[in-house]
Amino acid sequence: MDAGLPEPGDGRMVKKFVMTIVWRISQTGPLLSLFFWSTALAGIFWPILGSTNPRGPLLAFVVDVLGVPAERATIVGLLLLFLLFSGIILGIGFLYDRVLRLWREQMDVAYERNPYADDRLFRKERLQWEQFYLPLARAMYKVSPDPEFKQAIERVENWVATGRIDSGKKT
């Protein structure tokens, strides 16, 4: 079997499974963080904005403008605060990512450290292979034609075209 692929009875299969679970759990972190931050901020600001004595501005808005009954005003007010803070947090995240582009280098590091992305080429690497290494390899093949060398060149051409390595070995 190919050395890069784990066999079913191999310990690498368990390691890959555990790494996948850890990765999935880490991906839910931002959503949980958004939920807990919004909930905490809504709980903190409701006594200030929705107090009943004296009547807070949010409570007045919910009861008078939205027409919500007074017994449900707390739930609606907390929900409005939750949505407001969620929107603010997502808006800051959008500005941070799309407008300011502040974590592009972090994404490159995460991509480089991904153990399952070691066969992928960056755009810069594709251009290097297309413009420098492949022409040199083709010239070398013309000087000394070797079938194995031709297969290697074809694998690299496929790698550059698709961005993924094909080992060429059939299992």
Q: Are residues 105 and 48 part of one domain?
A: yes
CB atoms near residue 114 (< 10 Å): 12
What is d(CA 47, CA 42) in angstroms, rounded to the nearest whole number? Answer: 9
CB atoms near residue 60 (< 10 Å): 14
Range of the domain at 129: 120-171
For the segment 35-53, the average pLDDT, to the nearest whole number, is: 89
Q: Are residues 140 and 58 part of one domain?
A: no
On the 0-12 / 13-18 / 19+ scale of CB atoms within 10 A, 81 is buried
Q: Are residues 95 and 54 part of one domain?
A: yes
Q: pLDDT tens across 24-36, in order? A: 888 888 888 999 9
Q: pLDDT tens across 103-123, in order? A: 666 666 666 666 666 666 777
Per the structure, the count of domains in the chain is: 2
Q: Are residues 22 and 33 part of one domain?
A: yes
Residue 128 pLDDT class (50, 70, 90 cuts): confident
Q: Are residues 57 and 137 part of one domain?
A: no
- The DSSP secondary structure of 26-45, one letter per residue, reads HHHHHHHHHHHHHHHHHHHH
Q: Are residues 93 and 24 part of one domain?
A: yes
Q: Are residues 69 and 22 part of one domain?
A: yes
